[in-house]
Amino acid sequence: MVQSSSNKPNPAANSKPRQAQGPSSQGLMTRSLDKPIILKRSLSHQHIHRYDLRIKVKVTKSEDEEQVAVQNTLQKFFEIVLQADKSSIIPPFLELDRSDRSIPDISASLPVAEIEPFSSVKRYFAHISQRNDKGYIYCSLILAQNKSFSEFMEIARPLLMNMDFGLFPKASDHEVSSEVGWLLYSTRSQDEERLLELISTLVKDTVGVKWRPIRVNDRF
């Protein structure tokens, strides 16, 4: 996947993305397309990364009822997260909110159910979408954990699937990056550094190249 960022520089802790290389007057220089996600109070977790989350909510009679249903569903999701890694926290999604000491992290001591009003829930579960015709709602969040994603999912996957949750790692940890296209690339050696160098030179801008599987259905 090819990505662009208006802010150039961003690495999820321990998803350690490759360094992006972009053209400059001095030739190609190494840059990071991602920004490190810094937690509050100097907290340290080994694995900090952004994710897309899919939840399913039944039809409700009013917007207020839907907000309650969404928050209850997000609470169930976080309970599963804690079962798989009790050290997990969900910090505010935007750096500005993470810098505000008055806004706490979601943790075992502050569950989703206790956050009020609903507008505050959106600080953590950003870009909450409208419910689609299948009942799915999508949002984005940061998970800070001491287990790797594969270790975490080994425990959480059956629980998440049972509740029809979908949790997908984002390709970039830069707040303002966006997917600008897909590139089908076949080689015996998937040399992403060479590929991003070629593309950056071609488009005359800093881009990031990261490998990820392409989902072809709503399952994991």
Report helix, strand or coil for 169.
strand
The Cα–Cα gap between 75 and 79 comes to: 6
Going from N- to C-terminal start, the domains of the chain cover 1-34+176-220, 37-171
The Cα–Cα gap between 7 and 54 comes to: 27
Task: Note the helical H segments in the chain.
Answer: 63-84, 95-98, 118-121, 149-162, 192-203
Return per-residue pLDDT of the chain as tens, 220 residues: 444 444 433 333 333 333 333 333 333 334 456 778 888 877 889 999 999 999 999 988 899 999 999 999 999 999 999 999 999 999 999 999 999 989 999 999 999 999 999 999 999 999 999 999 999 999 999 999 999 999 999 999 999 999 999 999 887 787 776 666 676 766 666 677 788 888 888 888 877 776 666 666 655 4
pTM score? 0.71
Task: Decide if domain 37-171 falls under CATH 1.10.8.
Answer: no
